[in-house]
Structure formats: C-alpha cells, structure tokens
Amino acid sequence: MDNKFKVRITHSGFAILLALFLFLIVIELLFFNNKNKHNILIDKDTANISQTITTKINEQINSMVVSLKALSYSLNIQNSKNTKAFDEIAKKVMADNDVISELQYAPRGIITDIYPNQTKHSAIGHDLTHIEERKKGVLLSIENRSVSLIGPVKLIQNGKLAFILRLPLFNEKNEFTGFVNAISYLDTFREKLALDKSYYKILGFNPDGHRLTIFNNLEKTCEKTDNSFTVKVPNGEWLFVIQNQQKIHQDNSIYLRCLLYIFSCLICVYVYKREMYLKQSQNSILDMNMMLQKASYTDELTHLPNRRLLNEKLDAISTLTNNQTYSIAIFDIDNFKQVNDTYGHDVGDDVLVAFANICLSSIRSTDIIARWGGEEFVLLMENTDSHYGQEICTRILHTLSQHRITSGDSHFSVTSSVGLCEFTTPDFTITGVMKCIDEALYVSKKTGKNKVTLGHLNANK
C-alpha cells in the first residue's frame, strides 16, 4: 500500500519545488524586511540630496565670494570710492550673479555705499563694529582675515531675512580697511536649492552665537522618517533635516499571503509546463533540421553523399594553403542503360545500391564516395597519390566484376569505367580537376571499358 502512493521526484520536479520553496521564503522576507529596505532607500535618497545640496550651496557661496573679490579688486583699481563709481561697479557684478540681492561697501566698518540703494530705511551710516548684534561676527571675520557667512538675519533696512557674506579688506600694511558685503535674501537663496517638493529644516550658525532655523516646513502629525546631514559653509556649517513622507505599511493579512502563495504555485506550474513545451519544441526542431540537412546532402537511393556535399568539400579544399595531395576518380557503370532496358529500373536501382556498398567496403574512412548523378559516382581520396588511387579503383573494379546480380532466374555482373586524376593544393582548380577525370573516363570508355585511365591535370588547365 505504501509503494502504491510513492512518487519519484525527477530533477526538474525537484528544481521546481526548490524554486517554489525559495520564492515563498522571499515573500516572507519581503513582509518582515520591508521597513529595512525602505530605510535603505531613504538613506540613498538622503545621500543624493546631500550631495546635490552641498554642491549647490557651495556653488552659490563661491559665486558670491568671487563677486565680492571682483568688487573689492575693481574698487581698488578704480581708486575712487565715490558712490557713482561704486554703483557702476556693483551693477556689473550683480549682472553676473543672480544670487546676490544687495552689495555694500563699508570702509572701516561703516556702510557708505549700497547697491541698489533704498532711500527709505537705508543701512548707510551703520557702523558694523558697534552694532551689538553684529559686533561678534564682524570681529571674528577681521580676526580670521577670511570671508564669513552670517545668517539668516533680519535686515535693519527692510526687515527681510537674508544671508550676509562679509569679505574683510586690508591694505599693504595688513591693516584693516573695511568690508565689502554681499546680501542674499533668504527666499532667493532657498529657491536655488530646488527643494520645493520636499519637507526639510535647515539650521544655520550665526557667528554671534545663535543657532538659527533658516527654514522649516516639517510636518509633525504624519508618520515620517527624518534624516540629517551637515553642509560646511564659511566659518561654520548648516544642518539639514529631511523628512520622508512615504508611509510604511506592514500588512500581515492572512488572505494576502494565501493569495501570494497560490499565485507563486501557479507561476511555478506555468513555468514548468512552458519549459517542457519549449524543450520538446526545440528538440523537434533540432531533429527536423538534422533530418533536412542530412537529406540535402544524401542520395535517397544509395544513401551515399550526393553531388552537393562533394562540391562543398571541393570548395573547402580549394581554400587550403598547405601542400596536400589528393586523388579523385569518376566511376561510370558500363552498359547501365542496357541493364535498365533488359531487367527494368528496379534491377537498375539494385545495381546502383550494390555498387555503392562495394565502394563503401573498399575505401578508407577518410575517403568520400558520392553519387554524382545517374550511374556516375565520384571518389575523393585524401593524402593519396595517383599510384595508390589507381590501386583502390582497381580493387573496386575487381570486386564489382565478381559480384553477381540476381533478377528472377537470371544472374549477371556489371563493370565500370574509371577516370582518375591527381591534384595538389593549392595549385589546382575545381573546373580543371573535373575536366581531367571526365576526359580520362572518356578514354576508358573508348578503349574497352572496365579499366582505370589516369588523366594529367597540367595538360588540362
């Protein structure tokens, strides 16, 4: 009874079951590890955002620094600190930098020139070294003798939030002579970051000692994942906090799992059936192609290679570059038409088959005997000179003459005439070789038949 229900699992069946088992494990892992995969994607997105933002911020700050240095250099070359000269220079500088909202010149720390100047609530006359909210940052910039980034700060002149990039100026004696300032409004600066579709918070460092929130649109109520990274800026760094809005769903519904299991089973069954069908179809096509190829190169009656195969073999030999000797012979069964007329075509076919079998039993495995057409056969002998080739042909003729053909009460034998030729690669042509054996065969026919005549290739080229 136990043997009745035993099922032998084949290799393909085992592979399918193993694939199904692994697929179900993957499904379980997808349920349990969905959150981890989600976090990995968030980390990758954060890394990409971090790289993009860092590049953009550095580009903007660097462009502002370059503009400030260009302004400082131009003012120094101009050697004229009047308002008209400053406005002309500042206008050119701002034309090449759309991040800068305002440029200031402050000799000895006192703002004397602003472009574009606003008559209302102007900052002209402000002494940066004495404004308590700015004093620490100003002194830090002078002490470090480098560009400093302040912000975001609320501008005195218009109440807007902005960043201030200060470049301290020094004379040839390394004495502090003033500042050139570039102001970028917070909204203008933020637009360049292209983060309108993201939820994020930026914390900036103010040299006066306050960590300020530059921007914050984080949502507190929704399920989220926060990732942070820092971006280095002159005299400090900014902290970016990115909020991911994609919710993580962990649905462990038994119905969903059952559907997945059923679906996986159906897929495995489909794949198995499809592979079996494709395999069978492929084997059938291969078998059919082999049969067609064999048929195209085989004589239907004698099952010998046909003229097509021999021609392709000769074509291949004609491409050889090394010296190699071949002998080729054409056999023509004597009085074959008389055999057909006397005994009938069926007996004639028996004669052809008998001749083919005699040839096969008399030649080497490297030789090729092919039915050339009608009662003609061609024998190609590799690495064979005319002397040895003549021996092989003579042996075939002798065996053929001893073979008795039976037709009813009659018994008879047949003979064959042979034309033989020797050629050497690569110094030959197929046309010349075939002409040589045809002419030699003609001589055999005219001089008594049942003999081998050796033709001379050179004389027939």
Would you say residue 336 has pLDDT above 90?
Answer: yes
Task: Return the closest-CA partner of residue 247 out of 223, 266, 264.
Answer: 223
- Domain membership flag for residue 212: yes
Same domain, 109 and 223: yes
Would you say residue 366 has pLDDT above 60?
Answer: yes
The mean pLDDT of 172-188, rounded to a whole number, is 82
Query: Is residue 134 packed enough to be buried (19+ CB in 10 Å), middle (13-18) or exposed (0-12)?
Result: buried
Same domain, 52 and 134: yes
- Domain membership flag for residue 204: yes
Cα–Cα distance list, 300 to 147, 247, 295, 297, 350 (Å): 96, 75, 8, 9, 13
Domain that includes residue 395, residue range = 307-460
**Can you give the pLDDT at residue 87?**
80
The mean pLDDT of 363-382, rounded to a whole number, is 96
Would you say residue 79 has pLDDT above 80?
Answer: no
The band of 13, judged by pLDDT with boundaries at 50, 70 and 90, is low
The band of 211, judged by pLDDT with boundaries at 50, 70 and 90, is low
Residue 103 to residue 180: CA distance in whole angstroms? 7
Same domain, 78 and 152: yes
Please give the structure tokens belonging to residue 394.
């003579």
Cα–Cα distance list, 436 to 163, 312, 418, 452, 460 (Å): 101, 19, 12, 13, 6
**Can you give the pLDDT at residue 100?**
84
Q: What is the mean pLDDT of the chain?
A: 80
- Domain membership flag for residue 210: yes
Same domain, 61 and 199: yes
The residue from 244, 259, 281 where one domain ends is 244
Bond before 426 cis per omega within 30 degrees = yes
Same domain, 141 and 47: yes
- Domain membership flag for residue 276: no
- Tell me: the pLDDT tens digits for 385-413? 999 999 999 999 999 999 999 888 889 99
The band of 5, judged by pLDDT with boundaries at 50, 70 and 90, is very low
User: pTM, whole model, 2 decimals?
Assistant: 0.44
The mean pLDDT of 2-11, rounded to a whole number, is 49
Residue 409 to residue 390: CA distance in whole angstroms? 35
Task: Return the closest-CA partner of residue 330 out of 438, 429, 428.
Answer: 438
Least confident of 82-91, 206-215, 314-323, 379-388: 206-215
CATH number at residue 434: 3.30.70.270
The mean pLDDT of 19-43, rounded to a whole number, is 73
Least confident of 28-37, 39-48, 200-209, 272-281: 200-209
Contact 377, 331 (CB under 8 A): yes
Would you say residue 210 has pLDDT above 60?
Answer: no
Q: How many residues does the chain have?
A: 461
**Can you give the pLDDT at residue 328?**
97
Contact 142, 178 (CB under 8 A): no
**Can you give the pLDDT at residue 50?**
73
Pairing of strands 416-425, 452-454: parallel
Whose structure tokens read 């010349």? 432
- Domain membership flag for residue 127: yes
**Can you give the pLDDT at residue 303?**
93
**Can you give the pLDDT at residue 125?**
76
Same domain, 315 and 424: yes
**Can you give the pLDDT at residue 437?**
96
Task: Give the CA diameter of the chain.
Answer: 141
Would you say residue 178 has pLDDT above 70?
Answer: yes
The residue from 197, 214, 244 where one domain ends is 244
Which of residues 159 and 348 earns the better pLDDT score?
Answer: 348
Same domain, 208 and 326: no
**Can you give the pLDDT at residue 109?**
79
Same domain, 96 and 181: yes
Would you say residue 454 has pLDDT above 80?
Answer: yes
| SS3 per-residue string spanning the chain | CCHHHCCCCCHHHHHHHHHHHHHHHHHHHHHHHHHHHHHHHHHHHHHHHHHHHHHHHHHHHHHHHHHHHHHHHHHHHHCCCCHHHHHHHHHHHHHCCCCCCEEEEEECCECCEEECCCCCCCCCCCECCCCHHHHHHHHHHHHHCCCEEEEEEECCCCCCEEEEEEEEEECCCCCEEEEEEEEEEHHHHHHCCCCCCCEEEEEEEECCCEEEEEEECCCCCCCCEEEEEEEEECCEEEEEEEEECCCCCCCCCHHHHHHHHHHHHHHHHHHHHHHHHHHHHHHHHHHHHHHHHHHHCECCCCCCECHHHHHHHHHHHHCCCCCEEEEEEEEEECCHHHHHHHHCHHHHHHHHHHHHHHHHHHCCCCCEEEEEECCEEEEEEECCCHHHHHHHHHHHHHHHHHCCEEECCEEECCCEEEEEEEEEECCCCHHHHHHHHHHHHHHHHHCCCCCEEECCCHHHC
**Bridge partners (DSSP) listed for residue 106:** 179
- Domain membership flag for residue 96: yes
The residue from 244, 271, 295 where one domain ends is 244
Least confident of 162-171, 210-219, 414-423: 210-219
Which of residues 173 and 82 earns the better pLDDT score?
Answer: 173
The mean pLDDT of 130-151, rounded to a whole number, is 75
CATH number at residue 69: 3.30.450.350
Same domain, 182 and 46: yes
Same domain, 376 and 235: no
Q: Which long-range contacts (CB under 8 A, 24 or more apart) does 398-404 make?
A: 399/358, 399/361, 399/362, 400/355, 400/358, 401/450, 403/354, 403/358
The band of 378, judged by pLDDT with boundaries at 50, 70 and 90, is very high
**Can you give the pLDDT at residue 23?**
75
Same domain, 109 and 215: yes
**Can you give the pLDDT at residue 305?**
95
Which of residues 180 and 415 earns the better pLDDT score?
Answer: 415
- Tell me: the pLDDT tens digits for 212-262? 676 666 655 444 546 777 877 776 777 777 766 554 444 445 677 778 778
- Domain membership flag for residue 279: no
- Domain membership flag for residue 81: yes
Contact 199, 242 (CB under 8 A): yes
**Can you give the pLDDT at residue 402?**
95
How many domains in the chain? 2
Which of residues 224 and 290 earns the better pLDDT score?
Answer: 290
Same domain, 223 and 325: no
